[in-house]
Amino acid sequence: MRFAVTSLKLFLFLSTGILLFWGQSASMASSLTGTFPVSIDQVFFQSHNSYPIEWWYVTGRLKIQGHRRRDGFEGTFFRFLTSYRHPSGLPRSPWEPGEIFSFHGAYSQIDAGSFHSTEYLARSFRKAVWLRHDPLDIRVGSARLRVHQVPGNPDSFDLELVEQVKDRLLELTLRGSGPPLMEGPGGKLVTGRGENDWAWYLSYPDLSVSGREGRIQPDGKVAWKKVTGVAWFDHEWTRAMLGKGQTGWIWLGARLDSGKKALMAFQMHGKKGPDIFRGGTLGVRTKKGFRTVWLGPGEVSVRIRSFWKSPLTGICYPNRLEIVDRLLNKHWRIVPALDGQELSGHPDYWEGAVDLQDPTTGQKKGDGYLELTGFLRARQGCPNPSGFSPATIPQTGQMSRHYRK
């Protein structure tokens, strides 16, 4: 999962009087050719505080009694390192803005056609906002994500997610096991030309979910219902969010064939249309985890078939897309479970539950979550989708070093 930060960067500057640190110091230098020991420890038990941007991202679909279609949910926690440094010789204060934390939550009740979201933004402060490691435990206001190892099974874990979106409460346990899926060779996803245009990106794309969903009643009591479902978990840490000339991205995380396969696909774009940087990962489940196929920019394409204009912000978002995997000769149509799944805040972006269909028969092949950032407001109608054809990949060796199978 990636997140548009241009508006957030300005908002933080105005609200805290500090500037987020996007640069790279000598102590933070890291080589793209370095090795990365990918394990469960990297995801849940180790600190990555030297990186200025980090986030933990959970999306999923829930089965609730009485709901014909599965609801969708999102819970994302962000950590941003700032340029603030504690003055030497002075006592420390719990209000020091060395790090900024944010939480984005959303809930899509598909049957009712309703969507609600929430956003928190805060400095770290004692028992209200924190990040702890070994094991992971992050809290922003009433939202919390923490990990528990399963007794007697060091390769398994439970993620506990608690969040509130409007009058709806979620208390969920997400169970997974084994090593994470590497979203790119060595766990590195390259998204631009610059030396910092890449991220460490690890996923657990098919977690089982159990727990309960609650609705706050007028008298203040909570009516709880048991839920089950599936979830996708991402952990990323990076030095930069967008490369030169880029304004946003299209990102998809999907489960295919009843969880037997997992697909991540992305397309970077600028004001004039798609960038040459795109790609993805296809994970095929085996007894030992996922067998991974990394998809380079010449092997995957994302096409926009139509737009939807938000009545709240006037932004035109893609709402019918097609993804083609040329390497495996696969083709999927992406259809939102609801059109109106826009998170309005800092910044405005679209993220919500989608279905993957066979483009010929319309048969459902999977489901997941789609994120759309950096798209523009339209004074009148939305643009013609034909103007957003995938960019031509240059016939050079520029891209090959980023994508190896």
Q: Quick one: pLDDT at residue 391? A: 63
Query: Is pLDDT of 89 > 80?
Result: no
Q: Are strands 198-216 and 168-177 parallel, antiparallel or unpaired?
A: antiparallel
Greater model confidence, 379 or 334:
334
Specify whether the CB–CB gap between 6 and 81 falls below 8 A: no
Specify whether the CB–CB gap between 264 and 290 falls below 8 A: no
- The domain in which residue 287 lies consists of 6-17+43-85+97-388
Closest CA to 267 of 236, 234, 238, 304: 304
Q: Quick one: pLDDT at residue 86? A: 67
Q: Which two tokens stand for residue 367?
A: 């489901």
Specify whether the CB–CB gap between 202 and 188 falls below 8 A: no
Domain annotation covers residue 360: yes
The pLDDT mean for the chain works out to 82
Q: Which two tokens stand for residue 214?
A: 């609650």
Domain annotation covers residue 394: no
Please report, rounded to a whole number, the percentage of residues in the chain having pLDDT higher than 90. Answer: 48
Confidence band for 310, pLDDT divided at 50, 70 and 90: very high
Q: Summarize the confidence of residues 148-176 as an average pLDDT.
A: 92
Sign of CA dihedral 394, 396, 401, 405: positive
Greater model confidence, 153 or 390:
153
Give me the number of domains the chain comprises: 1
Q: Quick one: pLDDT at residue 155? A: 81
Domain annotation covers residue 266: yes
Look up residue 52 and give its amino acid.
Answer: P
Question: Could you report how far apart the first and last alpha carbons of the chain are, in Å?
Answer: 22
Decide: pTM greater than 0.75: yes
Q: Quick one: pLDDT at residue 23? A: 32
Confidence band for 134, pLDDT divided at 50, 70 and 90: confident
CATH number of the domain that residue 338 is part of:
2.40.370.10
Domain annotation covers residue 201: yes
Distance CA 329, CA 323 (A): 11
Query: Is pLDDT of 4 > 50?
Result: no
Look up residue 363 and give its amino acid.
Answer: Q
Domain annotation covers residue 64: yes
CA distances from 358 to 338, 367, 385 (A): 19, 12, 20
Query: Is pLDDT of 219 > 50?
Result: yes
| DSSP symbol at 306 | E
Specify whether the CB–CB gap between 87 and 97 falls below 8 A: no
Domain annotation covers residue 36: no
Specify whether the CB–CB gap between 228 and 212 falls below 8 A: no
Query: Is pLDDT of 292 > 60?
Result: yes
Specify whether the CB–CB gap between 115 and 341 falls below 8 A: yes
Q: Quick one: pLDDT at residue 46? A: 78
Greater model confidence, 55 or 10:
55
Query: Is pLDDT of 27 > 80?
Result: no
Q: Quick one: pLDDT at residue 129? A: 84
Domain annotation covers residue 34: no
User: CA-based Rg of the chain, rounded to a whole angstrom?
Assistant: 20
Distance CA 62, CA 253 (A): 16
Residue 214 neighbours by CB under 8 Å, 6+ apart = 168, 169, 170, 171, 222, 223, 224, 225
Confidence band for 385, pLDDT divided at 50, 70 and 90: confident
Confidence band for 327, pLDDT divided at 50, 70 and 90: confident
Domain annotation covers residue 363: yes
